[in-house]
Chains A and B, each alone.
Chain A
Amino acid sequence: GQQLNQSPQSMFIQEGEDVSMNCTSSSIFNTWLWYKQDPGEGPVLLIALYKAGELTSNGRLTAQFGITRKDSFLNISASIPSDVGIYFCAGQPDMRFGAGTRLTVKP
């Protein structure tokens, strides 16, 4: 089946720092999705990417769909304590998720 590799596994940063995480796939996706999971809750969609090369922003979040269609990255600028959680990438068509990046933000 498809392999979805997400890195880094975890990040510990100071409030105000920028964050970058990425996902790579063993095969081509037609859609990349980025989700965030708060403690004790289910994942919630942050950003959806539909075209190779697409760069999309949602507030302090920016995500890009790689040209090869096998990778994507998510950036968070000027992190705040409520950014804490687990960030997942997922791809269409089969909706399998990466292992997640656990983000800790120190005030």
Chain B
Amino acid sequence: DAGVIQSPRHEVTEMGQEVTLRCKPISGHNSLFWYRQTMMRGLELLIYFNNNVPIDDSGMPEDRFSAKMPNASFSTLKIQPSEPRDSAVYFCASRLSGANVLTFGAGSRLTVL
């Protein structure tokens, strides 16, 4: 199994630009989580999906952030417009619903200038 696949691994963009981060969960996993990691705030849960349905998006910082899961094998996290304070590493993780073990992707490092 290739594990959780995230792209891009690194992105540098200018303030105001739209950013789209992508995630392919492990095949057969039906829960998907998006996290943001910064030095100041640690690993924050942004949103998670069960069976492609958003269950808890209370961690999404503001309306500039949106996440979708159009099918079981793909999810996106979009930031529009991006701001310098959005600079962070964004992780996607997946698991079987009800299971305990989350498997993380390698992360997408975002820098907004």
Contact = CB atoms under 8 A, between A and B. Distances in A.
A21 interface: no
Contacts of B48: 95
A96 B45 contact: yes
Interface string A59-99: 00000000000000000000000000000101010111111
B43 interface: yes
Contact of B58 (A1, A88, A100): A1
A96 B23 CA distance: 19
Contacts of A50: 100
Contacts of B4: 42
B34 to A, nearest CB: 11
A25 to B, nearest CB: 15
Interface residues of B, number: 20
Contacts of B104: 42-44
Interface in B69-101: 91, 93, 100-101
B45 A94 contact: yes
Among A45, A88, A95, A97: residue with most chain B CB under 10 A: A95
A40 B9 CA distance: 10
Contacts of B25: none
A97 B104 CA distance: 13
A83 B45 CA distance: 25
B91 A97 contact: no
Contacts of A94: 45, 56
B61 interface: no
Interface of A: 1, 31, 33, 40-45, 48, 50, 88, 90, 92, 94-100
Interface of B: 4, 33, 35, 41-43, 45, 48, 56, 58, 91, 93, 100-107
Given A41-B107, A96-B45, 15 more contacts: A31-B100, A33-B101, A33-B102, A40-B106, A41-B106, A42-B91, A42-B106, A43-B102, A45-B101, A48-B101, A95-B45, A95-B102, A97-B35, A99-B41, A99-B43
